[in-house]
Chain A
């Protein structure tokens, strides 16, 4: 599988993401500068975390019109695997590749801490593993997921919610929700299931010494997924 990590000015998790993909797949992903386009044979594209364009205007708003995003959009619409982590998730929302929007965290502060994620299904390219609670950290100020009630029902009914904040035992409680997201949502896919946005950072959870290796399950699932070629 050929993967690519997009770098915007202000991205700051791109190296962590590159290292995670390298460690799990043994292959170095293409680093794609925001002024360029994705290589045509890309199977997986990751928009990493950070503060693209300094979060100016609104999180993800300027990245949306960055040159690279036209090819990302084409890749995603053609069914190519696409992941947005943290700021990457915010960018996917801005582009309309995923439904909903992000609000400022409920506590109004940036929050960096370990969270537990309930995995809702194991039949997607991102979750082909049996563990149902993952220990993965968050680090964001704007991760309070919102979508209008009717749409929320739709994405729930279609099984688009892949990850929810929970207790270590897998219970959904208010205290386990770090930002006030609706239905404790931490990660969702598009209707087709090939585009994933998630606020937690699986690239930060690939080494027990750093707190958890649960992210390896996620990356193994994604990187071992059936490749879908882009036109």
Chain B
């Protein structure tokens, strides 16, 4: 049965369709849609499923290279890795659900991205979680971070996929609209890849996994509107996850694919049964005929509309031949799952849905999945970008004590170690993780390969706010630097574009410039875009969030090269800074922390220099010239040198000297807290110094000698204003202090 609803302009508007879009619906159908059909168009033409506002921009990304096996358009991208293996990876956002219900919102985000990977036949081997929250002092933030971290932990840990990295940053810009992005990486034997393209008239449409309920109805359209007070009432749009079912459908899906008994498979994620049927049929140019009476249901009296739009989690839709059904059933039954045959494929190109003896929807599948509306939005440069104050005008207090300033900064929420978060994640299961989350990039050994896989996620909302194009470039460059610091050659990226409403010309300007910057950097660094996710309408009462593109990058360390880590590995090494020696405080975390307002020009991104840096690091690792390498990013040298020291073994310290352009306190602050791009701190054995210098000359890399690592548990730095020294204990107690910001003894106030 479907509800008998008259399609009024109000109903159309409630479904997020514009009058023009509704006209397209009328002309596609040649009649007034049923309410179920209207629901189908509403979710399929939402930004989340159709990319209607971002498609023209996304088309400008470089997507091809010989090592790219699958670019955008599938469930996930695929890159060639070694003789046998390919890497499957993708990033998604679950921002809006997490804003309302942080635990379930984050957990189901993990579930969704895992399904994107294993529906391609790949075994998920790693997760990374880039997170952004509001002011840490805000009680709402404290509620959100606890829920999000626990949701990610409970889901990922249970499914047995290690969470090996990510990021966590705080800014009032994200108050009430946190960003919860999740990246998943899988491995697959190249000849086993399966795509979500339906084919073969007469083949069966098989549903398995959780039964369908009322949860998550209109999740996809909900993700495409701004958060308001009323959103709080849309809580039913948030889905509930069950990692145990996920683990079962993961293993069952991989067994089904390995057994070769499927034609195609897709998960039911955003827009549930609607999206999976329309997309599989649409991509294959097929028709599909399903009966909703055969869908297993866990709520009573579900209407056709509700069944089609439900986003109940952990559900899969597969296509198999009638002959293979018995084998499909055998594998599903082993995992205590049931195969529900909903209908068949045909050659009509129509998506025909019936329920209780009635045809409730009859639509051309390709028209809704492949031919959604596309908009060229208007872009206007925001006024605030016109005259940003110069960071050089800023002066530190004359009585500031450098050592206590450094310690307080290292203890601040954005710089301190995120151990409090990552120790809640099982980052070691599957026994492939060689790094602690927090190092440059996560490095995995892969069972069945001699090469190492490096993965990172990076993005800086503040840089993008002051200069979205440069910020976009810097996000890619930083990811490449992090991957290369581990000795890996960057291969490809996925991304999550978190922005405000594209209907506002200033926001669309940010989006288009950021996409331009990302594209330029990807070309320069030969890391094509293999797909990603767009999350728009990230706004709260104060307006849009900082434009925050997050880059997920994979790279490869070819055997027998050993991965480099960020910490100084031993005493007796020479320490150098690669890249520009001088810096200013433009758009720096230090200014953000110090003044709450860092709206000054961000560092410039020199892509040629970034590419040279990658070559030096990859060759330096391969030739055994470098002993360690650590990127200098947010928090500048203060953060980097603290980590190089704290990640070293006990009884290894460093004695360094830093010069400043101005030999005074202002100059010193610029040097230690400035964030000039394209810089890396490396250590090397004195025997390799000559090779190192030759390598840097070959790539015309600017560099500065900083000093030596020593056999003493101390970090000493000589400045023009005098020396500063830290013992391991005092620096460690500042750096590992996140738990004191979010004490586990504090009662969690949900504040719904």
Contact = CB atoms under 8 A, between A and B. Distances in A.
A91 interface: no
Contact of B244 (A9, A16, A33): A9
Contacts of A209: 434, 445
Contact of A112 (B243, B426, B744): B426
Nearest to B422: A112
Interface residues of B, number: 32
B160 A12 contact: yes
A137 B428 contact: yes
Contacts of B434: 209-211
A20 to B, nearest CB: 8
B431 A210 contact: yes
Nearest to A209: B434
B244 A19 contact: no
Contacts, number: 90
Interface stretch (A47-55, A73-81, A182-190): A47-55
Contact of B424 (A33, A110, A204): A110
Contacts of A95: none
Given A12-B159, A12-B160, A110-B426, A210 B433 contact: yes
A146 B244 CA distance: 27
A129 B215 CA distance: 55
Given A108-B744, A111-B423, A210-B445, A51 B429 contact: no
Given A110-B426, A207-B431, A54 B336 contact: no
Contacts of A108: 744
Contacts of A112: 157, 422-428
Contacts of A109: 150, 153, 423-424, 744
Contact of A210 (B158, B336, B428): B428
B424 A9 contact: no
Interface in A191-208: 201, 203-204, 206-207
Nearest to B153: A110
B424 A203 contact: no
Contacts of B159: 12
Contacts of A54: 158, 242-245, 247
A185 B146 CA distance: 28
A15 B430 contact: yes
Contacts of B150: 109
Contact of A16 (B335, B430, B445): B430
B195 interface: no
Contacts of A107: 744
Interface residues of A, number: 34
Contacts of B688: none
A94 B402 CA distance: 56
Contacts of B244: 9-10, 51, 53-56
Contact of B431 (A9, A53, A141, A203): A203
B447 interface: yes
Interface in B235-266: 242-245, 247-248
A20 B430 CA distance: 11
A75 B433 CA distance: 34
Nearest to B419: A113
A201 B433 CA distance: 14
Contact of B160 (A50, A110, A201, A206): A50
A225 interface: no
Q: A-B pairs with the 4 shortest C-beta distances?
A: A12-B160, A54-B244, A51-B158, A139-B426
27 contacts: A9-B244, A9-B335, A10-B244, A10-B248, A12-B159, A16-B429, A16-B430, A33-B334, A51-B158, A51-B243, A54-B243, A109-B150, A109-B423, A109-B744, A110-B153, A110-B157, A110-B424, A110-B426, A112-B157, A137-B428, A139-B426, A201-B428, A204-B428, A204-B429, A209-B434, A209-B445, A211-B428
